[in-house]
């Protein structure tokens, strides 16, 4: 078990190094280089930029810059935003909570509802419910999220006036209820796609578990259908789902670009978009590394959870 973890960890580190090298190189190859944004400022002369470049060490060879950056990254210095000079980690942490709130809610919703739909679709295969769930999932997957967002705003904000159109809280309020009120629409819209994906996978996994011999054994023992479903089927069906959850975990923290934009949610997705627009390279690089770490961590956590849950892996 620890050996397996060590293995995975060393693989992950190699992966992170490769990702960071590619990211770093690509960003530096962009037209105008890292300081393009300053070139647009009429108050900056060519000389100022050269001085800035000298100051930031951008005139050194790329590989030295990379090692310098990576070394400081490891020490916890992720650089400073070009926009307001605050440290990249501060900028990220400012947006992290907003994203965590939105993504956490929508993922919890998606897993709960998606699992229920998937399991019911499997136990009532080819029923009206199953057909509706299948068609619904197809629609949710094929229609872009922003469209759902806009339609949601049109109906529930403009027509019905039930929920606010955007932002995380109303200026001057900020109570828990206010947060929740703002949270409803974006989290529901965001969870639509995840419900669709999760329910399809869950349906397949449940169907698979239902046909296993041990389910028949349980029936032959006289176990009730309800207990068979809860104890024997769902447990085994959830095993492959853990890996899927691990893949989805990073998006919990890196945010949803489109939804956050539609609902002006101050999360990580928005930060990424804004930073790109501003050519705020330190922040973009920071976000890139951050999400790469999360992807690696997500998969690692999924592997560990599977190992903990599945005795065949845990004990061998």
Q: Which residues bind another protein (CB under 8 A)?
A: 3, 6-7, 212-214, 216-224, 227, 231-232, 235-236, 239, 309-312, 315-316
Question: Measured from the CB of residue 240, what is the shortest distance to another protein in angstroms?
Answer: 13
Output the smallest distance, CB 245 to another protein, in A: 17
Q: Which residues of 275-294 are buried (b: 16+ CB within 10 A; e: fewer)?
A: beeebbbbbbbbbbbbbbbb
Minimum Å gap between C-beta 223 and another protein is 5
Nearer to another protein, 81 or 236 (CB): 236
Minimum distance of another protein from residue 200's CB (angstroms): 23
Measured from the Cβ of residue 297, the count of other Cβ atoms closer than 10 Å reads 15
Cβ nearer to another protein, comparing 159 with 221 = 221
> At its nearest, how many Å lie between another protein and the CB of residue 231?
8
Least distance in Å: CB of 129 to another protein? Answer: 16
Q: Taking the complex as a whole, how short is the minimal distance between the CB of residue 43 and another protein, in angstroms?
A: 60
Torsion of CA 199, 168, 93, 24, to 10 degrees: 70
At residue 70, φ and ψ (nearest 5 deg) are -65, -40
The Cα angle at residue 27 between residues 21 and 32, in degrees rounded to 5: 145
User: CB pairs under 8 A, 24+ apart, for 36-41?
Assistant: 36/279, 37/82, 37/278, 37/279, 37/280, 38/82
Nearer to another protein, 271 or 306 (CB): 306
Query: Distance of alpha carbon 42 from its chain centroid, rounded?
Result: 38
| Measured CA distances, 32 to 39, 40, 66 (Å) | 8, 10, 18
| Residues in Cβ contact with 45 at an 8 Å cutoff, skipping those fewer than 6 apart | none
- The residue (of 175 and 224) whose beta carbon lies closer to another protein is 224
Tokens describing residue 157: 């904000």
Nearest distance in Å: CB 303, another protein:
17
Nearer to another protein, 4 or 71 (CB): 4
- For residues 23 and 282, what is the distance between their CA atoms, to the nearest angstrom? 11
What's the full length of the chain, in residues?
Answer: 316
Neighbouring residues of 120: CB distance < 8 A, sequence distance ≥ 6:
129, 130, 133
Of 10 and 90, CB closest to another protein: 10
**Cβ closest to another protein, residue 178 vs residue 208:** 208
Q: Which is nearer to another protein, 25 or 127 (CB)?
A: 127
């Amino acid at each position: 078990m620890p050996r397996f973890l060590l293995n995975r960890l060393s693989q992950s580190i190699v992966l992170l190094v490769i990702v960071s090298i590619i990211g770093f190189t690509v960003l530096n190859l962009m037209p105008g280089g890292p300081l393009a944004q300053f070139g647009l400022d009429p108050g900056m002369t060519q000389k100022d930029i050269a001085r800035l470049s000298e100051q930031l060490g951008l005139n050194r060879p790329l590989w030295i810059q990379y090692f310098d950056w990576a070394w400081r990254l490891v020490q916890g210095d992720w650089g400073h935003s070009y926009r307001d000079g605050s440290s990249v980690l501060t900028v990220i942490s400012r947006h992290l909570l907003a994203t965590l709130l939105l993504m956490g809610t929508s993922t919890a919703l998606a897993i709960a509802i998606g699992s229920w739909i998937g399991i019911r679709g499997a136990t009532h295969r080819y029923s009206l419910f199953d057909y509706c769930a299948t068609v619904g999932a197809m629609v949710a997957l094929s229609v872009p999220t922003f469209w759902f967002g806009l339609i949601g705003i049109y109906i529930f904000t403009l027509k019905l006036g039930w929920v606010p159109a955007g932002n995380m809280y109303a200026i001057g309020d900020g109570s828990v209820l206010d947060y929740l009120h703002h949270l409803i629409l974006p989290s529901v819209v965001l969870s639509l796609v995840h419900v669709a994906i999760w329910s399809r996978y869950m349906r397949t996994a449940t169907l698979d578990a239902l046909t296993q011999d041990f389910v028949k054994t349980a029936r032959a023992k006289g176990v009730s259908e309800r207990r068979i479903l809860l104890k024997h089927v769902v447990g085994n069906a959830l095993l492959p789902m853990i890996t899927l959850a691990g893949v989805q975990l990073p998006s919990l923290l890196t945010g949803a670009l489109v939804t956050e934009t539609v609902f002006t949610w101050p999360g990580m997705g928005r930060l990424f978009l804004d930073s790109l627009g501003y050519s705020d390279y330190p922040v973009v690089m920071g976000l890139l590394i951050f999400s790469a770490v999360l992807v690696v961590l997500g998969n690692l956590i999924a592997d560990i959870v599977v190992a903990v849950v599945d005795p065949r892996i845990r004990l061998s």
